[in-house]
Amino acid sequence: MAQVGERESEELTLVTTKPYFDLPTACPLCLPLFIYLKLAHFPFRLSFNSIFPDSDQIPYVESGTYVAYNNENGGVIENLKRDGIVDLDSEFQSVPDWVAMKAMISSWLADAMMYELWVGSDGKSACKIYYSDLSWPIVKVLFLKQVYSVKQHLGITKDNAEQREDEIYKRAKIAYGALSTRLGDQDFLFDDRPSSLDATFLGHVLVTLHALPETSVLRSKLLEHGNVVRYAEKHKTKLIESSSSSSGPQFRSVPSSSTPKRGPSNWSSKPKSQPKREKTEGEKTFKRRARYFLAAQLVVVLLFLSLMGGNDAGDMELDDEDEGNAFD
Amino acid sequence: MSNPDSVPDLTPPDSERQKPFDTSEIDEEEDNGGDENDVEDDDEDEGGNDGVFRGPNRPKPQSREARFRSEKLKMESLLQRMKTGPVSVRVHDVIIKGNTKTKDHIIEAETEVLNNVGSMQELLKASQIVNLRLQALEIFDSVKITLDSGPPELPGTANVIIEVVETANPLSGQIGAFTKAEAGSSTVEGSLKYKNLFGYGDLWDGSLAYGYDHSTELSAGLYLPRFEGLVTPVTARAYLLSQDWLKFTSYKERSMGLSLGLFSSEHHDVAYNIAWRTLTDPSQVASRSVRRQLGHNLLSSLKYTFKVDRRNSTMRPTRGYAFFSTTQLGGLVPNNRSLRFLRQEFDIRYVVPLGFYRAALNFGVSGGVVFPWGNGFSSKPSSLPERFFLGGNISPVCALGGPTALWGFKTRGLGPTEPRRQVNDGTADPSGVDYLGGDLAFTALADLSFDLPFRWFREKGIHAHVFACAGNVAKLTENEYRNFSVQKFVESLRSSVGVGLVVPTSFFRMELNYCYIVKKFDHDRAKTGVRLTFSAS
């Protein structure tokens, strides 16, 4: 058991938010990283943290004592490149077009996604993606905090709200047009080879198509580019849905109320029949011992109360020794 | 406190009282600074026994000396009668005076014991109880209870007159030191109290506490002695708590919550707590197990505490016993979106006096277990802040409630560890480990305390002690219970022995100890040597 645990901890593990909307993770920051590792054919396990939606550390990858957080050195993909673990961009770094497209995706499209999730739509999609495992008082407060923070980041005030919205959608439309032209009918954006740009763009497109509501303005602008939609669905089938039938991590979009908090038990690719038998026996023994322990506690308390002749539950205890000294 | 046994100080009768018959008044006055506590006894009408005390009306005023003699005679006669047997009397009416802001029913609720008295002796005792209870409300500067004779048509009755003086200054402040056993450290707390804002005996307080374990707590509380007819007082406390465990377990804890005291008596306490708790790691070096627990959680739990403490002192027990048991059930919301756990801990103490040099042998055993509940509970981890951590800078003799402190072991200084994140910053320093605590904990202690053979030390209460302790924590969750065995647990018990000097002061108990670590494991933070501990009451 310990050896399996150690092996598991040495394997690269990607920690993201939970799956939703038929995607392995519906968070627009986490999905690109998932796709990047898939495009690089790098084996990894998937694990979830569903109680820290406002963390800037998530997504992160870990292997043993090595951890690459999202809020360090420009992101996890940059960390993986820097640490020599995975690098799909070695030949593209100096291509001007590539750099420009990257800047456009990481600013205009990222801003548009942030706006649409938290401000542009009714927020239901965002709540499902990030808050499905949290209690409603916490959800309410975190949601309001996040909306405020997004508005601050995008410079939206009461006076310029409409104007900013137009600007954001206009930029997104320009970006979609440029990327659609760049893509054409190819499999990938550059040189028919995958890069981190494909991972980031695919992540954005898949979340826009599957997570945002049908009334979303951003979604409707994206649907105007058929080749981009086909590109995304094709890769989704290849990377995400085909991997679910192989030995890779399993996922399924499930209603939140029945989703357990801890992901790894859902994602194990080991056959379940044998461990399940042991687990039942062990569980029975543990339950029995727990019952004995609690019963022993109860017996001790009851014995104590009866033998020591516990006092009444009175508020005040006077010193009875002096009672009626003069009156005896 | 009033003392009915003391020799009464006779004062002239109240000139305003016009009684149709002679009554002897027995005044007892004892000035205790600001608190007055008077019990005045009037002789009561005795049904069928008029001879001694009821005389014919005397319209002519007597001389002072004659009156004095008459009253003294009556007093002695009453005392004689009370010595020989119960003097039958019952309470007819309770009259409350002096409360301008405080509602009558608050005071009346504390006087229920008076309704059941059947004799003079019981009445005196009940009056004392009522006096204590009213003073315990902390909203009166003084409480004066006068016993007067009842209406003449009802013989054998008495009226009880309660005169209260409400506090002139409702705002008060205090600073104190306390020991937080579960955190393994002491805190310094400053608080402001506002008494009786709405006249319901309500006590409002705001406090700021700082602990030596880098914890800060800001809280505001309300204490209601009588709420909607409930038997016991209701307390409510809203708090904002921040605890920094970065050094030991790479996380910071921030909690915002409300705690409601539902039932409280001498031995039992039931409280409900709801809180929003966030664990973060700004240092970004946490180990894997800790990383998995970072985030927001809703805590909704019920806690039941049972305690019996028959030791003669908490600072230096020399005889008696004590038993503490705390049960906490978390996850009291209709869905599964809150922390679900069951936590049980107990602590047993027994002190044997040895009869020389005020020596005493203090034995203690404590244990605790925590585990999550719900689907798949055996494979889930327990929540970090709910686990048991042993070690700290308080004395195990004073840390009562559960397994917490061990002499010689530092805060969170023993138990399962996990390597932290390796940071490649060019230095060769190892990243260290996180102390993860355990789901099962056990400690045992034996402490022999005795006076030193020097008068100066004895006068100051400074004494010496020789001690030994042992303890261990183990993980049971995430299926680790399958690998657990009692034998392994016992074999891996950490232990220490030592000798030291104990200096009790009015604020805290200080110990200067030399600890020798008998058994520890690789990552345990414990060292043989001199250590200082501070424990507040």
Q: For residue B15, what pLDDT is reported?
A: 40
Q: Which residues numbered 122-181 in B keep a CB inside 8 Å of some CB on A?
A: 125, 128-129, 132-133, 136
Split at pLDDT 50, 70, 90, the class of B382 is: very high
Whether residue B378 and residue A262 make contact (CB cut-off 8 A), yes or no, is: no
Span A56-80, average pLDDT: 92
Share of chain B above pLDDT 90, in %: 34
Q: Is the pLDDT of residue B35 over 60?
A: no
Structure-block tokens of residue A323: 């009672």
- Rounded to the nearest angstrom, the minimum Cα separation between B133 and chain A is 7
Q: Which residues numbered 99-128 in B keep a CB inside 8 Å of some CB on A?
A: 121, 125, 128
Assess B429–A contact: CB distance below 8 Å, yes or no: no
Across chain B, mean pLDDT equals: 81
Which value does ipTM take for this structure? 0.72
Find the residue in B nearest to A55 (Cα): B295
Structure-block tokens of residue B233: 């007082």
Of B5, B294, B298, the CB nearest to A325: B5
For the ranges A253-257, B6-10, B388-392, B398-402, which has the lowest average pLDDT?
A253-257
Parallel, antiparallel or unpaired: strands B433-435 and B31-32:
unpaired
Separation of alpha carbons B233 and B235, rounded Å: 7
Parallel, antiparallel or unpaired: strands B39-42 and B140-149:
parallel
Q: For residue B16, what pLDDT is reported?
A: 40
Q: Which helix (H) or strand (E) holds A42?
A: none
Q: For residue B518, what pLDDT is reported?
A: 94
Find the residue in A nearest to B126 (Cα): A318
Q: Is the pLDDT of residue B12 over 80?
A: no
pTM for the whole structure = 0.74
Separation of alpha carbons B232 and A315, rounded Å: 9
Q: In this structure, are residues B297 and B385 in contact, taking their beta carbons and an 8 Å threshold?
A: no
Q: Which helix (H) or strand (E) holds B261?
A: strand B252-264
Structure-block tokens of residue B376: 């798949």
The listed range with the strongest mean pLDDT (B7-21, B123-137, B179-193, B254-268) is: B254-268
Q: In this structure, are residues A195 and A188 in contact, taking their beta carbons and an 8 Å threshold?
A: yes
Find the residue in A nearest to B124 (Cα): A324
Number of other residues whose CB lies within 10 A of the CB of residue A298: 12
Split at pLDDT 50, 70, 90, the class of B60 is: low
Whether residue B5 and residue A290 make contact (CB cut-off 8 A), yes or no, is: no
Split at pLDDT 50, 70, 90, the class of B67 is: confident
Which among B460, B423, B402, B424 is positioned nearest to B183, based on CA atoms? B402
Q: For residue B209, what pLDDT is reported?
A: 83
- Rounded to the nearest angstrom, the minimum Cα separation between B23 and chain A is 21
Assess B284–A contact: CB distance below 8 Å, yes or no: yes
For the ranges A4-8, B32-36, B91-95, B189-193, which has the lowest average pLDDT?
B32-36
Q: For residue A304, what pLDDT is reported?
A: 60
Which has the higher per-residue pLDDT, B509 or B499? B499
- Judged by phi (left if over 0) then psi (alpha if -120 to 50, else beta), residue A158 lies in alpha
Q: Which residues numbered 214-233 in B keep a CB inside 8 Å of some CB on A?
A: 232
Q: Which of B288, B329, B375 to mutate to test the interface with A (most CBs of A within 10 A)?
A: B288
- Taking 3-state DSSP, the helix, strand and coil percentages for chain B, each rounded to the nearest 5, stand at 15, 45, 40
Whether residue A279 and residue B378 make contact (CB cut-off 8 A), yes or no, is: yes
Which has the higher per-residue pLDDT, A321 or B491? B491
Across chain A, mean pLDDT equals: 79
DSSP state of B385: G
Find the residue in A nearest to B290 (Cα): A49
Q: For residue B280, what pLDDT is reported?
A: 95
Q: Is B72 helix (H, G, I), strand (E, B) or coil?
A: helix
In B, which residues are within 8 Å of A15 by CB distance?
291
Q: Which helix (H) or strand (E) holds B48?
A: none
Of A138, A282, A301, the CB nearest to B325: A301
Residue B333's alpha-carbon distances to A151, A269, B329, B383, in angstroms, are: 33, 33, 11, 17
Tens digit of each residue's pLDDT (9 = 90 or more) over A96-124: 888 888 999 999 999 999 999 999 888 88
The alpha carbon of B124 is separated from its chain's Cα centroid by a whole number of angstroms, namely 28
Of B129, B295, B420, the CB nearest to A316: B129
In A, which residues are within 8 Å of B268 by CB distance?
313
Residues ≥6 apart with Cβ < 8 Å to B443: B364, B365, B366, B367, B390, B396, B403, B404, B405, B406, B469, B470, B471
Name the burial class of residue B466, with classes exposed (0-12), middle (13-18) and buried (19+) by CB atoms within 10 angstroms of its CB.
middle
Q: Is the pLDDT of residue B49 over 50?
A: no
Tens digit of each residue's pLDDT (9 = 90 or more) over B410-420: 889 899 999 99
For the ranges B17-26, B234-243, B328-337, which has the lowest average pLDDT?
B17-26
Which among B436, B477, B242 is positioned nearest to B340, based on CA atoms? B477
Q: Is the pLDDT of residue B174 over 90?
A: no
Q: Is the pLDDT of residue B34 over 60?
A: no
Residue B98's alpha-carbon distances to B91, B107, B140, B143, B166, in angstroms, are: 20, 11, 10, 10, 7
Span A25-33, average pLDDT: 93
Split at pLDDT 50, 70, 90, the class of B437 is: very high
Chain pair A-B, CB pairs under 8 angstroms: 130
Separation of alpha carbons B377 and B371, rounded Å: 8
Alpha-carbon radius of gyration of chain A: 28
Assess B338–A contact: CB distance below 8 Å, yes or no: yes
Split at pLDDT 50, 70, 90, the class of A271 is: very low
- Rounded to the nearest angstrom, the minimum Cα separation between B285 and chain A is 9
Whether residue A324 and residue B479 make contact (CB cut-off 8 A), yes or no, is: no
Q: ∠ CA(B432), CA(B433), CA(B438), 5° rounding?
A: 165
DSSP string, B305-316: EEEEE--S-SSS
In B, which residues are within 8 Å of A133 by CB distance?
337
Separation of alpha carbons B114 and B94, rounded Å: 8
